[in-house]
Amino acid sequence: AGSGKFFVGGNWKCNGTKESIGKLISDLNSAMLESDVDVVVAPPFIYIDQVKSSLTDRIEVSAQNCWIGKGGAFTGEISGEQLKDIGCKWVILGHSERRHIIGEDDEFIGKKAAYALGQGLGVIACIGELLQQREEGKTFDVCYKQLKAFADAVPSWDDVVIAYEPVWAIGTGKVATPQQAQEVHVAVRDWLSKNVSAEVASKTRIIYGGSVNGSNCADLAKQEDIDGFLVGGASLKGPEFATIVNSVT
Ligand code: PEP
């Protein structure tokens, strides 16, 4: 881990019922969590209220997405103002499932980030390459292009955490090696330094996501430029998620 405060987010995706989420909340409430770690969970929208009312304040709540602007006649969408209203602190934007399954593009995601920051939400800004892009040697170019879209849109990086999530590692059980992750995190930091500022490069947390679990987190956390994790599958199990939170070194 680097010098910034370690950050671990749990992305519950489109999973859970009132009952299973109740159990997860009670497991998280009784877990021992290292004090020097920002811990965030991202439930599906409809369960955020349940989570806010029964989860310990020690853990902050994120949404998994939001609308690009002010609410209004946008059927099925949820606005940044509404997320603030129910007590969300964060929103995940640019997740690969939204990019590649739903079809969100860089510009759309950048606009969402700018609007969410303007509402006082923190943004977990996701980037990452597809397997084919990695095999073609395009990993850095893809990440830089996605980063640039965020950089062009956001007024400030103060409330942004970057999540590097190689798409081939998400939900596949194929975690990036610590070296593979570290290499991209360094490249991301370099890009920030050259294209935003040295200060933003050193202050912005860059977290890794993609098949992180209780067994592989410790080796990843040792890498100098890995400032935390975004966790999907393993965040649905309270004790395992706590192990990942506590892997801070
Ligand atoms: C994610 O969806 O952000 C993720 C990293 O998923 P998983 O941990 O299941 O690979």
Q: Is 9 in the pocket of ligand 1 (CB under 6 A)?
A: no
- Which residue of the set 60, 95, 97, 104 is catalytic? 95
Vertex 236: Cα angle to 17 and 93 (nearest 5): 90
- Residues (pLDDT < 50) of the chain are none
CA distances to 62, 72, 150 from 75, rounded to whole Å, are 21, 8, 26
Residue whose CA is at the smallest distance from ligand 1 atom 1: 232
* Active-site annotation holds for 100: no
* Active-site annotation holds for 95: yes
Residue whose CA is at the smallest distance from ligand 1 atom 6: 232
Q: Is 240 in the pocket of ligand 1 (CB under 6 A)?
A: no
**pLDDT for res 2:** 75
Q: Is 11 in the pocket of ligand 1 (CB under 6 A)?
A: yes
Q: Is 233 in the pocket of ligand 1 (CB under 6 A)?
A: yes
Q: How far is CA 47 from the centre of its chain?
A: 18
**pLDDT for res 35:** 95
Model pLDDT for residues 112-161, shown as the tens digit of each residue: 999 999 999 999 999 999 999 999 999 999 999 999 999 999 999 999 99
CA distances to 48, 104, 141, 190 from 13, rounded to whole Å, are 12, 16, 27, 31
What ipTM describes this predicted complex? 0.98
pTM over 0.95: yes
Residue whose CA is at the smallest distance from ligand 1 atom 8: 232
- β partners of residue 124: 92, 161
Q: Is 211 in the pocket of ligand 1 (CB under 6 A)?
A: yes
45/91 Cα distance (integer angstroms): 11
**pLDDT for res 1:** 77
Q: How far is CA 27 from the centre of its chain?
A: 21
